[in-house]
Amino acid sequence: MPDFLRWELNAAKSGMPLPAGEFIWSPAAHFLFRKCPRAWFFRRYLAQGGWKESAADPSAHAYLLKYLDHTDSWMSSAAEESLTQALLEIMPFSGPARTDALTEAFQTKVSAHLIRARNELADSSYLTDPKLTSFSELHNATGEYESPAELLGMIQYRFKEFFRLWENSILPQTIAEVDPLAWRLPPEYHQFPIGGIQVSVRPWMYAVYRRTIAAWTVRFTFSDPLAASAYPDGDDEEYGLPERVFAAWCARKYPDFEVEIHKIFISPDGMVSRIEVPLTVSPDFVLASADEMIRTANLPGGLKSELFPRLEDSSKCSGCRFKELCETEPVPPEDETIDGDAENA
């Protein structure tokens, strides 16, 4: 989602109501708001304007933290971007040569990401100048790694292992065999309405052929991707929410086409690939989620940190990129919270 959203800027002004029709909902915003409205406020509001030289400290800090990435998600993005670039690069190839060309180009693109990450980590410039931050920053302030070199070494090792598994799998051949003209690349953000709410669709790498939309994701994870908790009830609308939103967008753009999501998981235990056919997200779900956010965004007097309490159970804060900021920003007085308990929001 782009940074410079007019509605966010308007809504962040003290006392300004959210302009009708300018709210944009996304699965990421839904999950963040549900997990912690305070973190949602930091990301969606406090970070606004943080890119300016004149930005106040909390805003610049929130903006910086917003773009720091965790290792798994950085690796996942680097893999997806690299695969996309590789597919574009091998467009002129046909026949069996495409498979080898795909793997070679994929490896080259991942290497380029690693080289850039090494430079960015070495000088840490992004830690002092928020304008330099990008979607490719690495979160190296967790204390988990003693040095940027150690972090990078771990990433290199995991990518090396990934390519060993990739080359021994059917994946390169399957992807290379998709008609080059069927791919819709590079991936882009899209917006479309569901029940009158504007919804943002994350960029998907996908191909359209034989009345099918085949989208691909690559996810590095340190947990077991097939653990029972990763696959709750089929009725749980939150499960695969980004895929469900993508399916809803496809249903408008390609009516009567079937959507299939090819998920590639890479955990320390190996690589798993599976195909899922997502249901479309229901308008009721989007409306209920959006309504809560809109009501919060329109609180009289504008939004400020002291309206949002910290989570009562701090064990739920692990992995929150805003932890540092959260400790220094004001909290509500004991008897004042918005809409009850943050954990239930």
Judged by beta carbon, residue 128 or residue 318, the one nearer ligand SF4 is: 318
Judged by beta carbon, residue 246 or residue 322, the one nearer ligand SF4 is: 322
> Angle of helix 148-167 relative to helix 71-89, nearest 10 degrees?
50
Judged by beta carbon, residue 202 or residue 310, the one nearer ligand SF4 is: 310
Say if residues 138 and 69 touch (Cβ distance below 8 Å).
yes
Beta strand extents in the chain (DSSP E only): 24-25, 183-184, 190-194, 197-201, 205-209, 212-220, 258-267, 270-276
Cβ 69 to ligand SF4, closest distance in Å?
16
Q: Per-residue string for binding with ligand SF4, 285-324, x by CB under 6 A?
A: -------------------------xx-----x--x-xx-
- Separation CA 265–CA 221 (nearest Å): 7
Residues from 317 through 336 that contact ligand SF4 (CB under 6 A)? 317, 320, 322-323, 326
Considering only 11-19, 32-40, 60-68, 103-111, which stretch makes contact with ligand SF4 by CB under 6 A? 32-40
- Separation CA 194–CA 331 (nearest Å): 35
Q: Which residues contact 274 (CB under 8 A, 6 or more apart)?
A: 262, 263, 265
- Separation CA 292–CA 35 (nearest Å): 13
Judged by beta carbon, residue 87 or residue 311, the one nearer ligand SF4 is: 311
Q: What is the DSSP letter of 16?
A: P
39 binds ligand SF4 (CB under 6 A): yes
Cβ 66 to ligand SF4, closest distance in Å?
12
User: What is the binding site for ligand SF4 (CB under 6 A)?
Assistant: 36, 38-39, 310-311, 317, 320, 322-323, 326
